Amino acid sequence: MELAEAIAATTAVLAPHLDRASAGEGPVLARPPVAEVAERLQLARWIRDGGMDVDALAAWLEDYLALGIRLQHPASLAHQVAVPDTPAAVADLVHGAINNPMGIYEMGAAAATIEVTIVDWMVRQAGLPQPAAGGVLTHGGSLANLTALLAARAAHAPDAWTAGAPHDLALLCTPSAHYSIARAAGILGLGTDAIVALPVDDLDRLDPAGLPRALERAHAAGRRPFALVVAACATSTGLFDDIAAAADFAEQHGLWLHVDGAHGASALLSPAHRHHLAGIERADSITWDAHKLLRVSGLCAAVLVRDAQALERAFRQDASYLFYDDDETGDDAPGPDLLSRAVECTKAELGTKLFLELAARGERGLGEDVAARFAVAHQAWALLRERPGFSAPYEPQTNIVCFRVDGDDAHQVAVRERLLADGDVHLSSAVVGGRRHLRLVVTAPSTTAATLVDTIDRIAQASSAVCRSSSRCTPPPSPGPPPASAG
Ligand SMILES: *Cc1c(COP(=O)(O)O)cnc(C)c1O
């Protein structure tokens, strides 16, 4: 298969697919049984026989795209992943063709230099001290959280690398922390029992007044608290913990402060929203995903640390074919070998995606893009609040909105399932304050106040349909004309 020809054929299928999805044509997603999908894509035959040429590729791609999710669709409102922009997509294509795994400088000087530059830019956005601060890009926020907590463990228990993790450490976080935090505790050998659940308010935000009691509880259990994790923002609600209050407490008690900004750190780029992150400049470590709000494909995340050396100390290991002592290479190494501070060995050219995005839009343009998604989410909240049969418990701070349709927790789940089965609207759900909510995340530029009115109508219809079929609830009032503020 010749590259230029294959790319042309792919683009000829892909570009109209993306246009149709953005225009709201076709279902948001399809979920046929896996055996049916394997059959339609002729997976077994292609694997056995090979021989896919450019024409066959184009035909096959049509099916492949039809059987996937259309994130560009205005009613694609379920998850936090970005709708990739063209410059970022081009970076993926180039990476796919050249494969410069730049964890070692000699394996891609351009990509490695871009990564270092992008990390430096992120460090400055977060206001971490320079030049001491540093970081690395990782394949996802979960890995960034793991890496940050590894650095925290190394700072408090330097022998853990050789002797194994002490069994009496305690990690303080809210119950609504992303699940990757608990996983990191498991993977790092701290054990999930090391997690001390912090008190929260009725929207699952950290209650700073409860921090001293949590610390006492950890001590009473014979544990040594070493790290405090806050959400900026919480995955479920999109609401920010009070970082400054957490920083005060962490400072007083010698705790490593990790700000999980996987989703919300991108708000730093918007002058209208960055106040939600006040205090982030006091963090010991920060996780920041570009593949959520910055229009790049998965994956592209960063772990940033206040003291770059802390990251080097987190990984103490030898592999003679990769790591060289300084006296072997001399001080004049032309560039950094980033694998000394990352879990990954082979790594993709993650920084190039974000760089090309910035190169096209500029940091201000990208910040405006973030603010635009937040604004549409705010409009969604305003519409839901006014609509009979719906309730929305808080004013959103990001592009994430939680709400309920009249009915019990099981009804929320049933409505989502119904919408999923129809394929017209894709929502997620989350437990907030102990109650199941429907959850929408505005990521597509095609989602506007106008498309939301239609989407909310469909949700109301699905709710009525579920009520009729289960006779468990009274149907909500039928959709009326859109409120005047719908614009
Ligand atoms: C999405 C998210 C993560 C996980 O990031 P991945 O890139 O999906 O691994 C971690 N923390 C928070 C707060 C998130 O929203």
- Specify the pairing of strand 134-138 against strand 400-405: unpaired
Give the pLDDT confidence of 242-257 residue by residue, as tens digits: 999 999 999 999 999 9
Give the pLDDT confidence of 405-426 residue by residue, as tens digits: 999 999 999 999 999 999 999 9
pLDDT of the residue at 264: 98
- pLDDT of residue 191 exceeding 60, the answer is yes
pLDDT of the residue at 316: 79
pLDDT of the residue at 476: 57
pLDDT of the residue at 338: 87
Q: What residue's CA is closest to ligand 1, atom 15?
A: 235
Q: Are 138 and 308 in contact (CB under 8 A)?
A: no
Residue with the two structure tokens 């920084």: 351
pLDDT of the residue at 407: 95
- pLDDT of residue 336 exceeding 80, the answer is yes
E-strand spans in 372-470? 390-391, 400-405, 428-432, 435-441
Report which secondary-structure segment, H or E, holds 69: none
- pLDDT of residue 472 exceeding 90, the answer is no
Question: How many C-beta neighbours within 10 Å does residue 1 have?
Answer: 10
CA 455 – ligand 1 centroid, Å: 26
Q: How confident is the model at residue 485 (pLDDT cuts 50, 70, 90)?
A: very low
Q: Are 53 and 1 in contact (CB under 8 A)?
A: yes
What integer is the mean pLDDT of 372-378?
A: 98
Q: How far does Cα 314 stand from its chain's mean position?
A: 24
Q: Are 284 and 154 in contact (CB under 8 A)?
A: no
pLDDT of the residue at 6: 97
What integer is the mean pLDDT of 258-286?
A: 98
Nearest atom (ligand 1) to Cα of 180: 10
CA 289 – ligand 1 centroid, Å: 7
> Pick the residue with more confidence: 324 or 62?
62
Query: Could you give the percent of the chain with pLDDT greater than 70?
Result: 93
Cα(129)–Cα(131) distance, integer angstroms: 6
- pLDDT of residue 337 exceeding 90, the answer is no
Cα(120)–Cα(133) distance, integer angstroms: 8
What is the distance between the terminal CA atoms of the chain, rounded to a whole angstrom?
50
Q: How far does Cα 156 stand from its chain's mean position?
A: 28
Cα(426)–Cα(142) distance, integer angstroms: 24
* Residues flanking ligand 1, CB < 6 Å: 80, 140-142, 145, 178, 180, 231, 235, 260, 262-263, 289, 301
* Secondary structure in 3-state letters for 240-257: CCCHHHHHHHHHHHCCEE
Nearest atom (ligand 1) to Cα of 234: 13
Pocket test for ligand 1, best of 146, 181, 263, 293 (most atoms within 8 A of CB): 263
Q: Are 29 and 425 in contact (CB under 8 A)?
A: no
- pLDDT of residue 332 exceeding 80, the answer is no
What integer is the mean pLDDT of 47-59?
A: 98
E-strand spans in 59-149? 134-138
Give the pLDDT confidence of 101-146 residue by residue, as tens digits: 988 999 999 999 999 999 999 999 999 999 999 999 999 999 999 9
- pLDDT of residue 486 exceeding 50, the answer is no
Nearest atom (ligand 1) to Cα of 235: 15
Identify the weakest region by mean pLDDT among 17-21, 112-116, 469-473: 469-473
Under 8 Å CB-to-CB from 326, ≥6 apart: which residues? 333
Pocket test for ligand 1, best of 276, 287, 289 (most atoms within 8 A of CB): 289
pTM reported for the whole predicted model: 0.95
Question: How many C-beta neighbours within 10 Å does residue 69 have?
Answer: 19
Q: Are 355 and 295 in contact (CB under 8 A)?
A: no
Two structure tokens written together for 313: 């100390």
What phi, psi does 185 have (nearest 5°)? -60, -40
> Pick the residue with more confidence: 9 or 321?
9
pLDDT of the residue at 339: 85
Nearest atom (ligand 1) to Cα of 143: 9
- Could you tell me the CA-to-CA distances from 32 to 14, 200, 423 in Å, in that order? 22, 40, 11
Two structure tokens written together for 244: 């400054």
Q: How confident is the model at residue 326 (pLDDT cuts 50, 70, 90)?
A: low
Give the pLDDT confidence of 428-440 residue by residue, as tens digits: 999 999 999 999 9
